[in-house]
């Protein structure tokens, strides 16, 4: 259970060169690529993680994009611990959805505990895709986003947690918080996402409870994209899908998305993950 065919641990990016990589699952059912670029701001706070493993005879793939704010500590912590905790959850195979929900919560609590003595508040989004055989579970906290391509069409598998989403605003107000305009809509006038890991001072409102969507990978599903808002702020879901459609190599596709976002002037750190499903004819 703890032996991974491939584990990527790219560290902080110091220049403005994109870092990229990729691989193929042992059973050749899917390939994946990632690309990360430091945006025009000061330091890289985007992280991602990939793990592929055979568990009880089933191919399991875990992919995530973690976009930090207020420093990189939370994103780094989530990257180091979320999938490790998930694979250790006793119901990971039998009730994957429950395992994901509980692991998000557990990881957030453990992060807050570990960070007890920090003065500054840091936080992170998480957009994760868990493949168990032909089942795909996408879980989301924050404004990174998962988009799937089915027969050429872009379908979002997550809905960004923005503070002005009607249901999110309601949830925050019910908990006694406020959503205020300050350049954009912000929780307490401070934070531009309504859910996140970390963010201790806003924890009553900014929860790490994921929304989870399920999809079956049938022959119509071409690929899945996970990316931070550095991409989605400047490239639409459908444009991203159209760009990737004819690029068979997943790493190359991830690089092109990152470069496109950069060219379009994204000021944010940009991280893209592409998972392409192989279907035998």
Ligand X SMILES: *[C@@H]1O[C@H](CO)[C@@H](O)[C@H](O)[C@H]1NC(C)=O
Please tell me the distance from the alpha carbon of residue 95 to that of residue 21, in angstroms, as a whole number: 31
Residue 105 binds ligand X (CB under 6 A): no
The closest of 93, 56, 59 to 275, measured between CA atoms, is 59
CB 11 within 8 A of CB 30: no
Instruction: Using DSSP, state whether 41 is helix, strand or coil.
Output: coil
Find the binding residues for ligand X in span 117-156 (CB under 6 A). none
Please tell me the distance from the alpha carbon of residue 152 to that of residue 163, in angstroms, as a whole number: 31
Size of the site for ligand X (CB under 6 A): 17
The 10 Å Cβ neighbour count of residue 183 is 7
Candidate residues 5, 17, 41, 178; the one interacting with ligand X per rule CB under 6 A: 41
Instruction: Identify which range of 21-29, 97-105, 161-169, 194-202 contacts ligand X by CB under 6 A.
Output: 161-169
Nearest distance, CB of residue 93 and ligand X, angstroms: 33
Between the CA of residue 20 and those of 10, 17, 156, 201, 260, what are the distances in Å? Answer: 9, 9, 24, 35, 15
Candidate residues 197, 268, 272, 275; the one interacting with ligand X per rule CB under 6 A: 268
Find the binding residues for ligand X in span 63-92 (CB under 6 A). 67-69
Nearest distance, CB of residue 168 and ligand X, angstroms: 9
Backbone φ and ψ of 125, nearest 5° = -85, 170
Nearest distance, CB of residue 273 and ligand X, angstroms: 16
Which one, 18 or 61, has the nearer CB to ligand X?
A: 18
Mask: binding to ligand X, 173-212, rule CB under 6 A, as x and -? -----------xx---------------------------
Residue 269 binds ligand X (CB under 6 A): yes
Which one, 140 or 269, has the nearer CB to ligand X?
A: 269
Between the CA of residue 22 and those of 5, 30, 49, 110, 274, what are the distances in Å? Answer: 12, 11, 11, 30, 9
Which one, 117 or 184, has the nearer CB to ligand X?
A: 184
CB 131 within 8 A of CB 59: yes
Instruction: Using DSSP, state whether 241 is helix, strand or coil.
Output: helix
Residue 159 binds ligand X (CB under 6 A): no
Residue 168 binds ligand X (CB under 6 A): no
Instruction: Identify which range of 92-100, 144-152, 164-172, 257-265 contacts ligand X by CB under 6 A.
Output: 164-172
Looking at 8-118, which runs of residues are DSSP E strands? 19-24, 30-37, 46-55, 58-69
Nearest distance, CB of residue 279 and ligand X, angstroms: 35
Binding site for ligand X (CB under 6 A): 39, 41-43, 45-46, 67-69, 162, 164-166, 184-185, 268-269
């Amino acid at each position: 259970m703890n032996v991974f065919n491939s584990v990527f641990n790219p560290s902080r990016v110091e220049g403005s060169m994109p870092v990229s990589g990729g691989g193929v699952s042992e059973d050749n059912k899917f390939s994946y690529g990632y690309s990360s670029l430091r945006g025009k701001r000061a330091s890289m706070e985007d992280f991602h993680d990939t793990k592929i493993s055979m568990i009880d005879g089933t191919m399991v793939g875990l992919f995530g994009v973690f976009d930090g704010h207020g420093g990189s500590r939370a994103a780094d912590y989530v990257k180091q611990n979320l999938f490790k905790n998930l694979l250790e959850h006793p119901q990971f195979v039998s009730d994957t959805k429950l395992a994901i929900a509980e692991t998000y919560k557990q990881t957030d609590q453990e992060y807050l505990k570990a960070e007890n003595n920090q003065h500054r508040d840091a936080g992170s989004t998480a957009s994760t895709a868990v493949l168990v055989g032909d089942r795909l579970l996408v879980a989301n906290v924050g404004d990174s986003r998962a988009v799937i391509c089915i027969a050429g069409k872009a379908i979002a598998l997550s809905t960004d947690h923005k503070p002005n989403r009607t249901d999110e605003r309601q949830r925050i107000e019910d908990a006694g918080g406020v959503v205020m305009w300050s350049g954009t809509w912000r929780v307490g006038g401070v934070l531009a996402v309504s859910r996140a890991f970390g963010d201790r001072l806003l924890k009553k409102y900014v929860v790490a409870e994921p929304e989870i969507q399920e999809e079956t990978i049938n022959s119509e599903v071409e690929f899945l994209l996970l990316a931070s808002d550095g991409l989605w702020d400047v490239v639409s879901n459908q444009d991203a899908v159209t760009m990737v459609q004819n690029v068979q190599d997943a790493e190359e596709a991830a690089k092109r998305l990152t470069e496109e976002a950069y060219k379009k002037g994204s000021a944010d750190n940009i991280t893209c993950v592409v998972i392409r499903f192989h279907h035998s004819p």
